[in-house]
């Protein structure tokens, strides 16, 4: 592979700086700064990676214009956002092309299901009765869709995905392997000393441009729908219980869990391993740091942390106090000694 530095600079509006350009003005690949080989293009974005700059073997590098150009044998490509510029190069030249085409002979498509143009269906896939699969969809091997599932145009479903009956997926949805959509919600009543299952008769609705990572569990609603709205991205191993509603353009990191009927706003960001209680509401533009526990509704946009959840400044202040506990304990002891001494003094004082 050969990409000209000139083309790269033109695509990213970069200013080429440096008197030692790559041989013949080409790069041969892309790599992280600490792994780049001669001829490759890299980028520098986070300060903690600057330590790799003196020794990187990369031949060209995206940097900010204020970056100290302490080396000569590398071509600098100055841009306002090296991360975005590098991403542009990846998207343009390196985006994966999945070679899945046509409907495999081993796939089962029920006669009552419909499949759009240019849609590819892999080996041993099961498309059950009443499914409506849009155009230009890719469904990889061994994935199973039960009855009446809709999948919108341009979606990708990887291998070994399970979608239960009646679930509806929007356009340009991406579902990674091992993910389960529409499993029964966790609902029982206790009768005569035994749990009796409450039938879960709702479904799951995923908006356009939703992406679910691998091994995610999204339960169907008890009644109505569990909903993940347009543009929301869910990382691996996330639990989404029945009747949860997650708004638009929200991002949820790995291993976070939402209990039943929690309602989450738009443009929220969740760190990993957060637990959200059932039947609470979180408003728009709420950021919550990893491992927090959210047991009450959050009605004000902002950044939060902790269990119980607090505004992040308050959480850090509290953490500081906890770190100081050893000191507080000493000071209490010291005060007790002083006060005892004073009391003793006063008791022994003749004029009292």
**N- to C-terminal Cα separation, the chain:** 97
Residue 133 C-beta: closest distance to its own copies, Å: 16
> Are the beta carbons of 42 and 30 closer than 8 angstroms?
yes
Is the Cβ of residue 97 or residue 300 nearer to its own copies in the bound state? 97
Total of residues contacting its own copies (CB under 8 A): 117
Q: Nearest distance from residue 150's CB to its own copies, in Å? A: 18
Instruction: Say how many C-beta atoms besides its own lie within 10 A of residue 100's C-beta.
Output: 16
Separation between Cα atoms, residue 120 and residue 140, nearest integer Å = 8
Q: Confirm or reject binding of residue 184 to its own copies (CB under 8 A).
A: yes
Q: Which of 24, 54, 55, 95 binds its own copies (CB under 8 A)?
A: 95
Q: Which of 22, 231, 247, 265 binds its own copies (CB under 8 A)?
A: 231
Please choose, out of 8-16, 20-28, 67-75, 233-241, the segment that lies near its own copies by the rule CB under 8 A.
Answer: 233-241
Q: Which parts of 164-183 interact with its own copies (CB under 8 A)?
A: 164-165, 174, 176-180, 183
Is the separation of the CB atoms in 103 and 115 below 8 Å?
yes
- Residues in region 283-342 near its own copies by CB under 8 A: 290-291, 293, 295, 307-308, 317-319, 321-326, 328-329, 331-332, 335-336, 338-339, 342
Contact 207, 232 (CB under 8 A): yes
Task: Note if 321 is an active site residue.
Answer: no
Helix (H), strand (E) at residue 342 = helix 325-348
Please count the residues of the chain: 352
Q: Which range, of 15-23, 55-63, 70-78, 120-128, touches its own copies by CB under 8 A?
A: 120-128
Which strands make up the sheet holding 126-127, listed edge to edge?
108-109, 126-127, 144-145, 162-163, 180-183, 217-219, 239-240, 257-258, 275-276, 293-294
Interacting positions 47-86 with its own copies (CB under 8 A): 48, 83-84
The residues that are catalytic are 242
């Amino acid at each position: 592979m050969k990409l000209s530095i000139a083309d790269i600079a033109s695509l990213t509006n970069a200013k080429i700086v440096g008197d030692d350009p790559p041989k013949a003005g080409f790069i041969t690949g892309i790599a992280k700064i600490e792994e780049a080989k001669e001829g490759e293009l890299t980028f520098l974005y986070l300060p903690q990676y600057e330590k790799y700059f003196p020794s990187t073997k990369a031949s060209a590098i995206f940097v900010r214009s204020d970056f100290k150009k302490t080396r000569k044998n590398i071509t600098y490509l100055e841009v306002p956002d090296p991360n975005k510029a590098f991403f542009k190069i990846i998207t343009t030249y390196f985006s994966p092309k999945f070679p899945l085409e046509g409907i495999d002979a081993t796939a089962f498509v029920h006669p009552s299901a419909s499949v759009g143009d240019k849609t590819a269906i892999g080996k041993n896939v099961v498309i059950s009765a009443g499914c409506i699969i849009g155009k230009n969809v890719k469904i990889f091997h061994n994935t199973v869709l039960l009855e009446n599932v809709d999948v919108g145009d341009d979606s990708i479903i990887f291998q070994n995905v399970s979608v239960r009956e009646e679930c509806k997926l929007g356009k340009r949805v991406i579902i990674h392997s091992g993910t389960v959509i529409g499993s029964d919600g966790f609902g029982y009543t206790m009768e005569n000393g035994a749990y009796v299952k409450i039938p879960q008769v709702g479904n799951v609705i995923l908006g356009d441009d939703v992406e679910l990572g691998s091994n995610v569990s999204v339960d169907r609603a008890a009644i109505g729908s569990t909903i993940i709205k347009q543009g929301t991205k869910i990382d691996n191993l996330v639990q989404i219980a029945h009747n949860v509603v997650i708004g638009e353009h929200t991002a949820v990191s790995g291993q976070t869990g939402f209990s039943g009927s929690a309602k989450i706003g738009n443009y929220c960001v969740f760190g990993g391993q957060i637990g959200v209680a059932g039947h609470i509401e979180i408003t728009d533009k709420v950021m919550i740091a990893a491992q927090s526990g959210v047991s009450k509704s959050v009605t004000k946009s902002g950044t939060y942390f902790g269990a119980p959840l607090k505004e992040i400044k308050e959480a850090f202040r509290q953490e500081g106090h906890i770190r100081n506990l050893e000191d507080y304990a000493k000071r209490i002891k010291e005060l007790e000694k002083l006060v005892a001494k004073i009391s003793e003094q006063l008791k022994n004082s003749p004029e009292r």
